[in-house]
Amino acid sequence: MSQEVRQLEPKVVWNKFADLNEVPRPSKKEERVIQFMLDFGNSLGLETFSDAVGNVIIRKQATAGMEDRKKITLQSHLDMVHQKNVDTDFDFDAEGIKMYIDNDWVKAKGTTLGADNGLGVATIMALLESTDIPHPFLEALFTIDEETGMTGAMGLEGGVLQGEILLNLDTEEDDELDIGCAGGIDITATRSYIQENGAGDSVGFLISVKDLQGGHSGMDIHKGLGNANKIMNRLIFNGMEKFELQVAEIDGGSLRNAIPRESFAKVAVKSSNKSAFEAEFAQWAQMIKSELSVNEPDLTISLELIETPEKVMQEDTQKMLIRALYTAHNGVYAMSAAIADLVETSNNIARVVVKEGAIRIGCLTRSSVNSAKMDLAIALKSAFQLAGCDVGMDGEYPGWNPNPDSTILKVLESKYEALFGTKPDVVACHAGLECGILGQNYPEMDMISFGPTIKGAHSPDERVSITSVQKYWKFVLEILKDIPKK
């Protein structure tokens, strides 16, 4: 399947992407891809090194006649989100991504594709390897752990980079030039609970919520997609209030930056309530599916009999937990007053695990306004504390303040209009880009972000447009020709 992808144009980019997709590269486990990049740079005879946290830097001198141009830092992240469909048999630690072509899209078989941010990495690799592309001094910065904490960007020390302009290749609409992004913070709520023996006259059920679209918890948060954890909590709350439902286990969601696609719960209901519960559950499920029918046409909500759980949550703790989760905000919290149609502040209830006496809830809160981010974070913390949880707030990273007077922005705007006959959209995004973090140690660096069109990032529906990659590559080559002089 990857051989078909290797034949696409521009081959220099698609071949590097295919090479990269043979290397397992989950966040926080990037040892293999770091070595892959070090070997690549060294094989070209270029200055190549990694810093203390594992970021890889490769430098290439300017081509003849371009020595007087400003130095460029090209930046993308090495890690990718590892997600797969529940029925996909795939080992991310041992297998390369299985790609295929579907009309104008490159997709993966039941897993994330890694176009986020593998196509940015592949683009930079193609430029470093080239012998016939004119360019100024190039400095490649390949960061680690962007998807689960941005610790690579945070760990990059000042004074390492030589570039005067940074081109971040990590946005997902090919007609956009990004000049700002949201910051974020992780909210983690934990507590223990007492397990009780289940009632002897009860029956067990497995509740399944699955086949949601999922997606990027920043870029897709405004699309009205279903959150499996919130749907599950709603079903459990209804059962708890009307039928004294008891929770044995909950396992919902996966990564903080991915909108949860699935949730599963083992519960118990008194035998005398079995038929009534099944009938009303069917009504609840149909009601929720009807509410989400436009945005989540494939949503599946099911109820099946299982062996009655031996242990369930203590009643008071269960009530506090389910009500806290009902209260906790999920989705868009505020829209920007400064930039039209931009989400300012949001939260993703990403992970809910209840098992063997332990509760763990994970959220990712984002905002382009730091005070608003902390306001929502404190609201979430308060809700979970009222349920008796210990709440940690960590992994905070700053947003990137837009600079509409940026010199490189003017270059890219002019070049885009000349190439494609229309003006690009100059935007800020609700995702977390590394520019804001890098700018703390490199405040004088002129930064901009752009990339090819990628849909469904952070989900197994991730796909990248073939024609968009062609457009984007042409744009990159023309940009490098017109970098301002020093």
d(CA 107, CA 167) in angstroms, rounded, equals 26
Six token digits for residue 305: 């009999």
Six token digits for residue 54: 């594992």
Q: Looking at 19, 30, 79, 186, which residue is catalytic?
A: 79
Q: Is 146 a catalytic residue?
A: yes
307 C-beta neighbours (distance < 10 Å), count? 9
Six token digits for residue 310: 């031996």
d(CA 304, CA 285) in angstroms, rounded, equals 13
d(CA 420, CA 474) in angstroms, rounded, equals 10
The single-letter code of the amino acid at 446 is D
Q: Is 425 a catalytic residue?
A: no
**CA atoms 401, 405, 406, 408: torsion sign:** positive
Cβ atoms 429, 149 nearer than 8 A: no
- The reply to whether omega before 402 is within 30° of 0 (cis) is no
Residue 314: half-sphere exposure toward Cβ, Cα within 13 Å? 11
Outline where DSSP puts E strands in 182-272: 183-192, 195-197, 202-210, 246-253, 263-270
d(CA 270, CA 274) in angstroms, rounded, equals 7
Beta pairing, strands 47-50 & 105-108:
unpaired
Distances (CA, A) of 310 to 241, 247, 251: 21, 11, 17
d(CA 236, CA 249) in angstroms, rounded, equals 11
Cβ atoms 104, 466 nearer than 8 A: yes
The length of the chain in residues reads: 486
Q: Looking at 146, 147, 164, 211, which residue is catalytic?
A: 146
d(CA 113, CA 463) in angstroms, rounded, equals 7
Q: Shortest CA distance to 484 belongs to which of 163, 124, 168, 133?
A: 163
d(CA 223, CA 220) in angstroms, rounded, equals 6
Distances (CA, A) of 94 to 32, 85, 90, 196, 234: 11, 17, 9, 41, 38
Residues with Cβ < 8 Å from 341, sequence gap 6 or more?
A: 335
Catalytic residues: 79, 146
